[in-house]
Amino acid sequence: MHRSGTAMAWNVFKFCTALRGVGSIMILLVLGVVGVTYYAVVLTNYGPALSQGGFDSFTALTILLLFHFLLAMLLWSYFSVVFTDPGSVPPNWRPSTDEERGESDPLNSLEFDNSNPRVRFCRKCNQPKPPRCHHCSVCGRCVLKMDHHCVWVVNCVGALNYKYFLLFLFYTFLETTLVTLVLMPHFIAFFSDEEIPGTPGTLATTFLAFVLNLAFALSVMGFLIMHISLVAGNTTTIEAYEKKTSGKWRYDLGRKKNFEQVFGMDKRYWFIPGYSEEDLRRMPELQGLEYPSKPDFDSQ
């Protein structure tokens, strides 16, 4: 039995190691889809329409401006998720003492992880874990307010890049929906009897771009709706899975404050992957190291 458990742990480790390699391929796949889409929308269909004059040129210009704006925001958000550390546990982090309850620092005890269930300890990292922190087997470390490990961005989604991940989903949904709508007439033309201008290569690229963007728009819409509901309740994907009761969630501060914990308080920064200076000063709270309402951590 012990031998079977050891084999299972080894297999899981190999799977997690493989995910690291897959991530780099996924970035190339994302850039490949962007390239195919750009070729179909800009170079094949609406770029040449700019020279036609009249209403067709105005329509093409409007579509191209909106397309490039959403594409820029999509890529900005995407690479912000890729290159932003999701949040690591500070090297000298220790649980704070709750003087009102008469509790001492549990780290003074050699068996703090067993004697005080309010304090969580990661045996893999050999360090205490802050509230809402989880160990990622793919990254091999603890991540603050971890939501999940995403192979599409070769990174964990946690406290410091969750906003960027949501913006990536948001702009991806808008961009793929726009591309689906503007390429739909060309897609329908494939099944009509009328003659379609263009080479077989450009027609195939347009067909492929429409199918890919339609598939991404539908799938991303589902993820976006799910994460909007998680933000509204101040819950992560892991926490939603681990919840055992239907009572009030201890971190739920109301929809407005829950939203501000992720996107910040400055409305000017809500739709860009960045934070104001004031929000940066609130970063310990955002990371899950401090909480305004001092929630209970006994079941974390």
Give how far the C-alpha of residue 145 lies from the chain's centroid of Cα atoms, to the nearest Å.
Answer: 13
Does the residue 62 lie in any domain?
yes
Nearest C-alpha neighbor of 34 from the set 211, 212, 186, 215? 212
In the set 133, 136, 139, 150, the catalytic residue is 150
pLDDT level of residue 2 (50, 70, 90 thresholds): very low
* Segments forming the whole domain that contains residue 227: 31-86+163-300
Does the residue 196 lie in any domain?
yes
The owner of tokens 């809500």 is 270
pLDDT at 24: 73
pLDDT at 233: 92
As a whole number, mean pLDDT of residues 23-29 equals: 83
- In DSSP terms, which residues pair with 228 in a beta bridge? none
As a whole number, mean pLDDT of residues 132-138 equals: 89
As a whole number, mean pLDDT of residues 197-218 equals: 89
Contact between 67 and 176 under an 8 Å Cβ cutoff? The reply is: no
pLDDT at 188: 86
As a whole number, mean pLDDT of residues 278-291 equals: 71
Number of domains in the chain: 1
pLDDT higher than 50, residue 210: yes
Does the residue 189 lie in any domain?
yes
| Residue 40 or residue 109, greater confidence | 40
pLDDT at 71: 98
Express the helix, strand and coil content of the chain in percent, nearest 5 each: 60, 5, 35
How far apart, in Å, are the Cα atoms of 20 and each of 55, 77, 84, 122, 168?
Answer: 49, 21, 16, 21, 21
Does the residue 10 lie in any domain?
no
Does the residue 15 lie in any domain?
no
How far apart, in Å, are the Cα atoms of 174 and each of 71, 139, 165, 171?
Answer: 9, 30, 14, 5
Percent of the residues in the chain that have a pLDDT greater than 70, as a whole number:
76
Does the residue 122 lie in any domain?
no
Mean pLDDT in the chain? 81
Does the residue 108 lie in any domain?
no
pLDDT at 7: 40
Give how far the C-alpha of residue 143 lies from the chain's centroid of Cα atoms, to the nearest Å.
Answer: 14
Does the residue 220 lie in any domain?
yes
Contact between 300 and 242 under an 8 Å Cβ cutoff? The reply is: no
In the residue annotation, 150 being an active-site residue is answered as yes
pLDDT at 95: 76
